C-alpha cells in the first residue's frame, strides 16, 4: 500500500505537470507549504473537475468517508483501494463514474520487511519530475446539514519490478497522457478509463533507503527524502 508521500513543489510546478488548465488554491495558500511526510487523515491538495467546470485544485482529506456513512468517526476510512476490484465495491464503483481526482506528489515511501523490523524506501521518478496518484473523492454531509467533509482514497496495484523488491503493492501513478481523461466527469463509461489503473512502467522509477524517522507521522523536513544508502538496482534493462 501507499500510506506516506512527499509533496514539496509549488503550485505552478504541478499545474505544468498536469498538462491541462487548472484553477483554484492560489500560490500563497497554506496548502502549498512543502510536506515531506504526508499521512492519511490530513487535508491536502488534489485536482478534480466538476461537470461543466475546469479542473481545480482543492483541499480534501485523505481517507474516504462515503456519503452514506452515519458518523464520520465510526470505523476506519479507506486510505487505499485495490485497483483490480474497485469497480465491484459499493464504496468505489459509483465514484469511478464521475468522482475521479488526482493527487500531486514528488515521492512516495514504502517499507520493506527486514530482519528485526521494516526499512523505509523512497520512490521517485527517474527524471525527478512530479507525478499524480489516481484517486476517488466523495462529499459527506451530516443529517442536520451542519457538518460537511470532502475526502478521497488512492489506488494501489501490483508492483513493477523495482517496487516489488520492497513491497507487494504500489500506488497507481497516472501517465501524463491520461490526466485529462481521468479528470473528465462526463466520461462515465469506466471501461474507457480502466487502463489508467495499471502498474507504472518498469525503468521509470528510482528507489533508495531513507531515514527510519519517516515512520513517525510527526517527522518532517527535507531530510526525509534524502538517501541514507545506495539506490536499489533496477534490473529492468537486463
Active site residues: 2, 110
The cell numbers describing 169, all together, are: 503493492
Residue 55 and residue 22 in contact, taking contact as beta carbons nearer than 8 Å: yes
The cell numbers describing 211, all together, are: 531515514
Closest CA to 236 of 169, 171, 162: 162
Q: Where are the beta strands (DSSP E) in the chain?
A: 4-7, 22-23, 35-38, 43-49, 55-62, 80-82, 100-105, 107-114, 117-125, 131-141, 148-157, 170-171, 205-209
Q: Let me know if 178 is exposed, middle or buried by CB neighbors in 10 A (0-12, 13-18, 19+).
A: middle
CA atoms within 13 A on the CB side of 224: 26
Helices first, then strands: H and E counts in the chain: 4, 13
Amino acid at each position: 500500500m501507499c500510506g506516506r508521500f512527499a509533496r514539496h513543489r509549488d503550485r505552478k510546478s504541478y499545474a505544468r505537470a498536469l498538462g491541462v488548465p487548472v484553477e483554484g488554491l492560489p500560490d500563497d495558500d497554506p496548502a502549498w507549504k512543502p510536506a515531506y511526510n504526508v499521512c492519511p487523515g490530513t487535508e491536502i491538495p488534489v485536482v478534480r473537475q466538476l461537470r461543466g467546470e475546469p479542473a481545480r485544485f482543492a483541499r480534501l482529506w485523505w481517507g474516504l468517508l462515503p456519503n452514506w456513512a452515519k458518523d464520520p468517526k465510526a470505523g476506519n476510512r479507506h486510505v487505499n483501494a485495490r485497483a483490480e476490484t474497485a469497480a465491484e465495491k459499493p464504496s468505489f464503483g459509483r465514484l469511478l463514474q464521475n468522482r475521479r481526482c488526482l493527487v500531486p506528489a514528488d515521492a512516495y515511501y514504502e517499507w520493506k520487511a527486514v530482519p528485526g523490523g521494516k526499512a523505509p524506501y523512497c520512490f521517485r521518478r527517474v527524471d525527478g519530475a512530479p507525478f499524480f496518484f489516481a484517486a476517488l473523492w466523495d462529499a459527506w454531509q451530516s443529517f442536520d446539514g451542519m457538518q460537511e467533509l470532502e475526502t478521497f482514497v488512492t489506488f494501489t496495484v501490483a508492483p513493477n519490478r523495482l517496487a516489488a523488491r520492497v513491497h507487494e503493492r504500489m500506488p497507481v501513478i497516472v501517465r501524463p497522457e491520461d490526466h485529462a481523461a481521468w479528470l473528465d466527469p462526463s466520461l462515465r463509461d469506466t471501461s474507457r478509463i480502466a487502463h489508467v489503473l495499471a502498474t507504472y512502467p518498469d525503468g521509470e522509477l528510482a528507489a533508495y533507503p531513507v531515514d527510519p524517522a519517516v515512520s513517525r507521522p510527526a517527522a518532517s523536513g527535507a531530510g526525509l527524502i534524502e538517501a541514507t544508502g545506495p539506490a536499489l538496482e533496477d534490473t529492468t534493462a537486463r
